[in-house]
Amino acid sequence: MKKNRIAASGCLLLLAVTFRAEANFYVPSHQAQSCQRKPASPPAEAGWQTPNIKEETTPCATSPKSSSAGKQCCPFTPVPVSQNVAGTPSVPPPTRFNSPRYQAPLHKDEVVVIVYEGSLKTNVERILRENCWDRVIWKPNVDYRWVGTAKIAGPDLATVMSTLLSPFPLEVTFYHANHVAAINVRKYHE
């Protein structure tokens, strides 16, 4: 019952809009030129036309009338979407190292870290976070003390971390897929 009321009120609204001859409808310039019928009076502004309705139309008539040339003559004719010139979908080139989307490593030549006096766990977590490792998992139950301040350099972070952890029975495992570094107890301490 409620759906019938909504449909009836929608149809009445459509009838009111359809039979109103003074309504202004915007017609883009490329559609106005293709239409054979011209308005009775010149438009006040470019692109705006007053519809010239002489015969009554039904609101449910969906088939547009055709002109003598066989083209559809309706201000609401859909415009075809412009297609790609080549006719093939454009595919982006594969990502290469010279691509603008490629992000170069932060440290090009070597990695240099500074280890401060204090907790080894705090120093390791700080160094790994400074080098873009999201999570650091410290698995040993104990923490070790680092005495003094040191500067360690190496070709990459794995070499620097193995040098840093070599005096302790610890090793680092890098999980590159999710940027997690895990500090484990070394199985065989030399």
Q: Of 60, 62, 82, which is closest to residue 72 (Cα–Cα)?
A: 62
pLDDT digits (tens, 9 = 90+) for 59-68: 545 555 544 5
Distance (Å) of CA 116 to CA 119, 129, 162, 168: 8, 15, 17, 16
Say how far apart CA 40 and CA 52 lie, in whole Å: 7
Domains and CATH numbers, the chain: 1-73 (no CATH), 111-185 (3.55.50.30)
Say how far apart CA 62 and CA 91 lie, in whole Å: 39
For the chain, give the mean pLDDT: 69
pLDDT value of position 35? 45
pLDDT value of position 164? 94
pLDDT digits (tens, 9 = 90+) for 74-106: 555 555 555 555 555 555 555 445 555 555 555
More confident call, 173 vs 72: 173
Positive/negative CA dihedral, 101, 102, 103, 104: negative
Measured in whole angstroms, the distance separating CA 148 from the mean position of its chain's CA atoms is 48
pLDDT digits (tens, 9 = 90+) for 24-45: 445 555 544 444 455 555 555 5
pLDDT value of position 77? 52
Say how far apart CA 36 and CA 38 lie, in whole Å: 6
More confident call, 129 vs 3: 129
pLDDT digits (tens, 9 = 90+) for 124-153: 999 999 998 889 999 999 999 999 999 999
Which pTM value belongs to this model? 0.43
3-state secondary structure of 12: helix
More confident call, 74 vs 159: 159
